Structure 1
Amino acid sequence: MIKYFSSLLIAGTIMLAPVPAAMAQQASSSPYRTRFAVDAPITLGLGAVGGLGLYLVQQKNGLSDAGLAALSKNDVPKFDRFVAGNYSDRAQTVGDFLTYGSLVVAPGMLALNENARGHYGQILGLYLQTMATTAAAFTMTVGTVTRYRPFLYGTEGGGDRNSKISTNSFFAGHTAHTATAAFFAAKVFHDFNPDSPAEPFVWGAAALVSAAVAYSRMEAGKHFLSDNIVGYAVGATAGIVVPQLHKTAGRRGLSFIPIQGLNVNGYSYGGLLITKQL
């Protein structure tokens, strides 16, 4: 897993390398449009949803000793069963290191990129909104869904076995937040540095470090494979879609196209097709 983290650092070094003058001039203006009056309330609203999710998590109850004794690996879907009973403090430490490190390293790399540095305040605002999106989705899900962590199907874990957080297996928060940070950095780098030869390394590092966290969470017995797949998908989607929604290039507003034809029952219809390019 450390080699995956090293891949991210190598990609970061490539990101920081000087870009050709023509490319720098092309990316001198920001590809994003943000407005404080719009984005600040959205970010605060997402934060409020995340706070509600945390409150719901606190209302959950852990399993009693009798409930723990009644758990059986055979009740776990076959797709996930190979993870049931896993437990590793070392894997948890590695996963924590990769996750918390990525939350700082990913936006930090963008601060050192020549094209993005002049718009770093805007990038930080977008990053906060993107992370708040994932946090809201994650906390509301674990606050309303009860799924027992894989380590409960074994014998290790000590006092954590009866804690309320042992019911928070779905979905994988570490994986989701890592993927959000990593894919956000890759997406922003792409938008500020179009056609950069470093792009395959940047996107590859984002994918690998997120997968490394997912693997560590399974080894630690914190999440099943399906939990990590959902977490990965949620995080990567947020990391890419939120910046994309703020893109200025190629947004042509609304287009109106008259349409008419016959439906399957032979009746004619007419109307107006309204589209908006994101």
Structure 2
Amino acid sequence: MKYSATLLLSGALFLAAGPSATAQNSSASPYRTRFAVDAPITLGLGAVSGLGLYLVQQKNGLTDAELARLSKNDVPKFDRFSAGNYSKSAQTAGDFLCYGSLVVAPGLLALNEDVRGRYGQVLGLYLQTMLTTDAIFTTTVGRVTRYRPFLYGTEGGATRNSKISTNSFFAGHTAHTATATFFAAKVFHDFNPNSPAEPFVWGAAALMPAAVAYTRVEAGKHFLSDNIVGYVIGATAGIVVPQLHKTTGNSYSLAPIQGLNANGYSYSGLLLTKQL
């Protein structure tokens, strides 16, 4: 997995910045992080990602006989238009956009003065957010077999028999790109809630993973549905993980409730709510 190099680099930065992230609890940051809590969570997510990678390695590719039996008619109609696609140039473009975004998105945050003062904390959050997506991605791919679109054509050479040719669901490039860009947009918003640049920041965050998704369809690596799922998971992780660390807007409340259910029986209890 090419993601490993970027995640390892982020991990080194996280460990180096860990103590300072916990020490920097000034009111300037919209986030609250604690090394004693967040480090084990991050390491746990890394362990789940590792388990997912192990599961991926245990998968088997298709034999020539199995490849010969594949039919585009077996692909759902909404995905069938891309069955048989294959493009090395589209794959290269998608790799460039994806791996570049993993570095550029958090890097651009350093240009903001407020974020730069809390950059160790932000990098720790970024690593945790990326590993959240990666844990979901690797465990899903490790357990779900879906043939990549290019297998329904004739191109691809030896990769047609590779175990990675069964890793179509869901789109990892799209998911990781969406995580990186939406995380950057979310952090920028939280540090600069009234910035006039916000529409452009969120627009760029949305367009980049969409562009990656397009290249993955053209390359024959993923179907449209794979990319939609990857986009949603990545964007959700990019927004939710930082939100869960917000110092405000995360209040809990406990209130008594009572009423009648649909069958006319009365009920009572306590309602726990958490504001996101």
Residue 105 of structure 1 corresponds to 104
Q: Residues 172-205 of structure 1: CA distance to partner in whole angstroms, max 9, x if unpaired?
A: 0000000000000000000000111000000000
Is 1:146 equivalent to 2:140 in the alignment?
no
Q: Which amino acid aligns with 1:156?
A: E
* In structure 1, C-alpha distance between the alignment counterparts of 2:260 and 2:180, rounded to whole Å: 48
Q: Which amino acid aligns with 1:86?
A: N
* In structure 1, C-alpha distance between the alignment counterparts of 2:134 and 2:253, rounded to whole Å: 34
Q: Residues 127-180 of structure 1: CA distance to partner in whole angstroms, max 9, x if unpaired?
A: 000000011000001100000000000000000000000000000000000000
| 3-state SS in 1 of match to 2:253 | strand
Residue 40 of structure 1 corresponds to 39
* In structure 1, C-alpha distance between the alignment counterparts of 2:215 and 2:64, rounded to whole Å: 27
Residue 196 of structure 2 corresponds to 197
Q: Residues 194-223 of structure 1: CA distance to partner in whole angstroms, max 9, x if unpaired?
A: 111000000000110110000000000000
Contact in 2 for aligned 1:180/1:236 (Cα 8 Å): yes
Residue 120 of structure 1 corresponds to 119
Contact in 2 for aligned 1:28/1:115 (Cα 8 Å): no
**Residue 36 of structure 1, CA deviation:** 0.3
**Residue 28 of structure 1, CA deviation:** 6.9
| 3-state SS in 1 of match to 2:185 | helix
Q: How does 1:225-264 map to 2 (within 5 A)?
A: 225-252=224-251, 254-264=252-262
Residue 94 of structure 1 corresponds to 93
Residue 164 of structure 1 corresponds to 163
Contact in 1 for aligned 2:244/2:250 (Cα 8 Å): no
* In structure 2, C-alpha distance between the alignment counterparts of 1:42 and 1:28, rounded to whole Å: 24
Residue 270 of structure 1 corresponds to 268
* In structure 1, C-alpha distance between the alignment counterparts of 2:126 and 2:157, rounded to whole Å: 37
| 3-state SS in 2 of match to 1:96 | helix
| 3-state SS in 1 of match to 2:247 | coil
Residue 71 of structure 2 corresponds to 72
Residue 132 of structure 1 corresponds to 131
* In structure 2, C-alpha distance between the alignment counterparts of 1:84 and 1:143, rounded to whole Å: 22
Q: CA RMSD in A?
A: 1.2
Cα gap change, 1:266 to 1:167, in 2 (>3 Å): closer
Gaps of 5+ in 2: 1-25
Q: Which amino acid aligns with 1:273?
A: L
**Residue 255 of structure 1, CA deviation:** 1.7
Residue 20 of structure 2 corresponds to none
Contact in 2 for aligned 1:86/1:150 (Cα 8 Å): yes
Contact in 1 for aligned 2:253/2:272 (Cα 8 Å): yes
Gaps of 5+ in 1: 1-26
* In structure 1, C-alpha distance between the alignment counterparts of 2:237 and 2:231, rounded to whole Å: 10
Residue 212 of structure 1 corresponds to 211
Is 1:179 equivalent to 2:162 in the alignment?
no
**Residue 271 of structure 1, CA deviation:** 2.2
Query: TM-score normalized by structure 2?
Result: 0.89
Q: Which amino acid aligns with 1:207?
A: A
* In structure 2, C-alpha distance between the alignment counterparts of 1:263 and 1:166, rounded to whole Å: 50
Q: How does 1:6-17 map to 2 (within 5 A)?
A: none
* In structure 2, C-alpha distance between the alignment counterparts of 1:268 and 1:218, rounded to whole Å: 53
| 3-state SS in 2 of match to 1:34 | coil
| 3-state SS in 1 of match to 2:258 | strand
| 3-state SS in 1 of match to 2:120 | helix
Q: Answer 1 or 2: higher relative contact order, Cα 8 Å, separation at least 6.
A: 1
Q: Which amino acid aligns with 1:153?
A: Y
Contact in 2 for aligned 1:34/1:246 (Cα 8 Å): yes
Q: Which amino acid aligns with 1:255?
A: S
Q: Which amino acid aligns with 2:124?
A: G
Residue 19 of structure 1 corresponds to none
Q: Residues 33-59 of structure 1: CA distance to partner in whole angstroms, max 9, x if unpaired?
A: 000000000000000000000001111
Residue 13 of structure 1 corresponds to none
Q: Which amino acid aligns with 2:263?
A: N
Residue 17 of structure 1 corresponds to none
